[in-house]
């Protein structure tokens, strides 16, 4: 840095840079989660979202930034350095085919003016102004990326017959807390709306992708045949017509039973007619029930992943032989599991496909 005819150099080792990046990443993710959830209701309202975008377009004009550099160049430097490593690490993973949604501000023009004016008014701050311009470009690209992924997850949920709005409404009512972390402020000391928008977009993306991960997607056992499907059937004990609320997978006693999706075990025990039962909640009103077990390999409160062993096939309860009775429930109401098990793997494969990365 050049000041009063003297040139001073500041060297930051790679180890220190990595430590700073890790600290900033943790702080910004924590901030993004808390800010996203607390502000979700306003973000989901079209009028308020339009107001936020309008604030993005007006914030931090070149004149305001020149004034900020003149007032306290050290504070500006600290603010920019807190953001730089984190943003550059994140943007490296963006797919090349992310398209603009048309709903994110573009600060390119104003940023170029800022660099020019700062260079003339405060020559020693030219490098910082250039760094800030790069950061704003990265924030806007990250927001595009988060919106793109969120829209892709929402489309996948709709394809599976689920309502993305229900998933998003769940975010408003989550319990949370923690200290307020502000990774960036505007010229007046308030939250820069471009960072606020990024936090909200990341929260929406995370909520939709978590909802998608809870969709039943793994066939819950290796079976020889399906002996009974969802719907009305001839009851094997009475011979009369009766409603069957799941799928019956026939397999030898002791065959492992697998969790159909990630979730939390909410019940392990006996239910009349079902025999030994495990129930798993997958969030957003989705749950699965596994019945007639011969053994339990899970406990209440346990977090399980898709495909994890939770028990073994048996013939307990109202059963004529070893098999797994499998149910999918939405808000307590049994629905046909077949569409989920047949469609979810292909839908999720498409969503999780990794586009070509941006060349560095």
**Residue range 271-301, pLDDT digits in tens:** 999 999 999 999 888 999 999 999 999 999 9
DSSP assignment of 172-205, as one string? Answer: HT---------S-B-TTSSB-HHHHHHHHHHHHH
324-337 per-position pLDDT tens digit: 999 999 989 999 99
Segment of 4-8, 139-143, 275-279 carrying the highest mean pLDDT = 275-279
- Please report where in the chains the tokens 């109202």 appear, as a residue: 318
Q: What is the pLDDT of residue 355?
A: 47
Average pLDDT score over the chain = 75
3-state secondary structure (DSSP) of residue 314: strand
Instruction: Quote the DSSP letter at residue 51.
Output: H
Higher pLDDT, 323 or 235: 323
Segment of 93-102, 170-179, 288-297 carrying the highest mean pLDDT = 288-297
Among 6-10, 235-239, 242-246, name the one with the lowest average pLDDT: 6-10
What is the C-alpha separation between 181 and 5, in angstroms, rounded? 38
Q: Is pLDDT of 217 > 80? A: yes
Nearest CA among 250, 326, 333 for reference residue 290: 326
CA distances for 263 relative to 6, 163, 252, 254, 303, angstroms: 61, 19, 26, 23, 6
pTM over 0.85? The answer is no
Nearest CA among 359, 282, 360 for reference residue 327: 282
Q: What is the mean pLDDT of residues 237-247?
A: 88
* Cβ neighbours of residue 10 closer than 8 Å, sequence gap 6 or more: 1
* 97: β partners: none
Q: Structural domain boundaries of the chain?
A: 2-213, 225-352
Q: What is the pLDDT of residue 261?
A: 93
Tell me the CATH class for 225-352: mainly beta
The backbone region for 4, taken as left when phi is positive above 0, alpha when psi lies in -120 to 50, beta otherwise, is left
Q: What is the pLDDT of residue 163?
A: 84
Q: What is the pLDDT of residue 100?
A: 45
Q: What is the mean pLDDT of residues 222-243?
A: 88
CA distances for 291 relative to 91, 122, 225, 231, 304, angstroms: 46, 72, 17, 17, 17
Q: Is pLDDT of 102 > 70? A: no
């Amino acid at each position: 840095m050049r000041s009063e005819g003297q040139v001073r150099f500041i060297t930051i080792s790679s180890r220190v840079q990595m430590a700073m990046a890790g600290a900033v990443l943790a702080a910004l993710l924590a901030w993004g989660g808390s800010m996203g959830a607390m502000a979700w209701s306003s973000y989901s309202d079209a009028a308020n979202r339009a107001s936020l975008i309008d604030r993005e377009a007006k914030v931090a004009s070149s004149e305001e930034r020149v004034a900020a550099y003149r007032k306290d160049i050290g504070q500006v430097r600290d603010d920019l350095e807190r953001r730089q490593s984190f943003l550059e690490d994140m943007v490296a993973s963006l797919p090349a085919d992310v398209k603009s949604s048309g709903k994110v501000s573009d600060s390119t023009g104003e940023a170029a003016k800022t660099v020019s004016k700062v260079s003339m008014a405060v020559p020693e701050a030219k490098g910082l102004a250039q760094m800030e311009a790069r950061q704003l470009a990265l924030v806007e690209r990250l927001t595009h990326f988060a919106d793109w992924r969120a829209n892709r997850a929402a489309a996948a949920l709709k394809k599976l017959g689920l309502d993305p709005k229900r998933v998003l409404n769940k975010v408003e009512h989550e319990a949370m807390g923690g200290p307020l972390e502000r990774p960036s402020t505007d010229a007046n000391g308030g939250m820069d709306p471009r960072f606020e928008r990024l936090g909200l977009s990341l929260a929406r993306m995370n909520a939709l992708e978590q909802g998608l991960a809870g969709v039943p997607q793994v066939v819950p056992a290796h079976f020889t045949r399906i002996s009974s499907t969802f719907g009305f059937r001839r009851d094997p004990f009475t011979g009369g017509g009766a409603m069957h609320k799941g799928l019956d997978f026939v397999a030898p006693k002791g065959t492992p039973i697998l969790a159909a999706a990630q979730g939390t075990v909410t019940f392990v025990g006996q239910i009349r007619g079902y025999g030994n039962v495990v129930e798993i909640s997958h969030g957003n009103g989705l749950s699965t029930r596994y019945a007639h077990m011969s053994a339990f390999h899970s406990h209440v409160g346990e977090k399980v992943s898709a495909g994890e062993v939770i028990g073994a096939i048996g013939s307990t309860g109202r059963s004529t032989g070893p098999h797994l009775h499998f149910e999918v429930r939405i808000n307590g109401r049994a629905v046909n599991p077949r569409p989920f098990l047949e469609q979810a793997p292909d839908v999720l494969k498409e969503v999780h496909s990794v586009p070509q990365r941006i060349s560095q």
